[in-house]
Amino acid sequence: MVSYLYNIFLLIVTIHASQYPLPVSKCPREDSLRKCLNQYQIKGPVIFRDNFMAYNKDIKFEYNKLFIYFPVAFVHPIDEFDVQNAVKCAAKLNIPIVARSGGHSSEGYGMGDKDCYLVVHLVNLNKFSIDRNSQTAVIGMGNTLKSLYYKVHQYGFAFPAGTCPNIGVGGHITGGGMGLLNRKFGLSTDNILDAQIVLANGTIVYNAKKYPELFWAIQGAGNAGYGIVIALTLRIYPIQKIVTSLTFEYDFDQIPLIFSVMNQLGNSFHQNLTLYIVVYSDPLSASVTGLYLGSASELQPHMQEFIKLSIPKSVSYVENDLYNIQIEGSEILISDFIKSKSFYIDSRGLSYEGSKYFMRFMKSFKCKLHSEILLIGGGRVNEMRRNESAFVHRGFLYHIAMFAHLPGAHSKHSELCFQELKNFSQHFQKNYASYENYQILIDRQLDNWQCRYYGKNFEKLVEIKRKYDPYNLFHWNQSIPTNTNISCN
């Protein structure tokens, strides 16, 4: 009977995750893990593979279907002690363990990097409290950006973070957090005031700021294997009731001109203004979108020179409150097979040759592709020193995020697009972009990722990792190791 039910489970998984390797029948030390978790009386749901429907629901929760793994179990803690006990069992049995913050990882590392990890799904740790006087908020790591934006909005505040409202706050905020408010308020990471973390030895750290090295590390590398962050104290900001979004439409062939004008004017824009260049391959289109903290009448003078030089086909301004602008379009987001790439462009901006190469690739790529180019220069992000936190990427004019939408996991068409994207990325980064890459848009194909993500901070991060997780309990392909012979100096 058990064998029959397990075969039914495999069929269910196959339907929803076709083309993936199927799970083995049982993971090493699975029975011992059951006994350990039962012994510690974890209060939240614990989902093993024989709980077919619940397990499959946890599998399907993963946003990016490009990499799917089959954990030994999912633990859904309801408090810090559940997290603590899950970590203790993993450490005792030498079972690798990862946290999933309720959103998604670009490479599926929220379920480890192979089968049989123990996943601590933090979705139930969604507490939220706010202190108006100190302008701070304490949030649990089960929140998404959408829920964070809504909760601070209710009190008349804002928090600087990304443009995808459905991602979990944990890895995003501790790994950087770029978005529409960075030029005004800095990165998400720059606004972490304290943290609660469960360490590899099962210790609960309620005030990470008392551990300066650890606190420094989680500001930019907190999603890279130092423990399980369960709550963050954040600096939040009073915000105008009315803000303005803008959309300028262009012909696709105007892309080099758009980059040229952004290079010329980007650093001089008011910090209340943030701009995105958005490019789609299917259908071919280019636009500039943005957010201004103020009314449309206040914004328009700031855009006169940009409009004059870039010659858009159409110009529109829409006034709204910040929350509704932040979540616009989020309900239509669906899971997909996605491969992302990341590039930083220095203070001079992308060259004409680089913009032409970028445009040709967008036009010729054989799968669907879209790119988002975020203006960073002239804002708070670059006011911090490169070693002031673990987030090293300072001094750039803009960041290019590129998202390829593939038809499946292992089809010939997908493999061709994979190779095209890899070839483009290597040439583009070597000739036109910075050496560095954004660690939130993590890329398992990236060479020398240690230096590209963390620069000269990498060796310090290894030292801190060795101190707080000496047996490397929290590990995957691109987590911070406990030892290294790599130097990024």
Question: Residue 54 belongs to what H/E stretch?
Answer: helix 52-60
> pLDDT for 157-210, tens place per residue?
999 999 999 899 999 999 999 999 999 999 999 999 999 999 999 999 999 999
- CATH code of the domain occupying 243-320+335-431: 3.40.462.20
Segment holding 327, helix H or strand E:
helix 322-327
Collapsed DSSP state (helix, strand, coil) of residue 266:
helix
Can you read off the two tokens belonging to residue 273? 């203004």
Distance of alpha carbon 416 from its chain centroid, rounded?
Answer: 26
Decide: pTM greater than 0.75.
yes
Q: What is the pLDDT along the chain (489 residues), one digit of tens a residue?
A: 434 333 444 444 444 444 444 555 799 999 999 999 999 999 999 999 999 999 999 998 887 888 889 999 999 999 999 999 999 999 999 999 999 986 667 888 999 999 999 999 999 999 999 999 999 999 999 999 999 999 999 999 999 999 999 899 999 999 999 999 999 999 999 999 999 999 999 999 999 999 999 999 999 999 999 999 999 999 999 999 999 999 999 999 999 999 999 999 999 999 999 999 999 999 999 999 999 999 999 999 999 999 999 999 999 999 999 999 999 866 544 557 899 999 999 999 999 999 999 999 999 999 999 999 999 999 999 999 999 999 999 999 999 999 999 987 778 889 999 999 999 999 999 999 999 999 999 999 999 999 999 999 999 999 999 999 999 999 999 999 999 999 998
Task: Determine whether domain 2-124 maps to CATH 3.30.465.10.
Answer: yes
Q: What is the pLDDT of residues 381-427, one digit of tens each?
A: 999 999 999 999 999 999 999 999 998 777 888 999 999 999 999 99
Helix or strand run (H / E) with residue 218: helix 212-221
Cβ neighbours of residue 200 under 8 Å, at least 6 residues apart? 87, 91, 227, 468, 469, 470, 471, 473, 474
Q: How far apart are CA 313 and CA 300, in angstroms?
A: 16
Nearest to 110 by CA among 145, 101, 260, 207: 101
Domain spans, the chain: 2-124, 243-320+335-431
Nearest Cα to Cα of residue 237 among 194, 183, 195: 183
SS3 letters for 168-197? EHHHHHHHCCCCCCHHHHCCCHHHEEEEEE
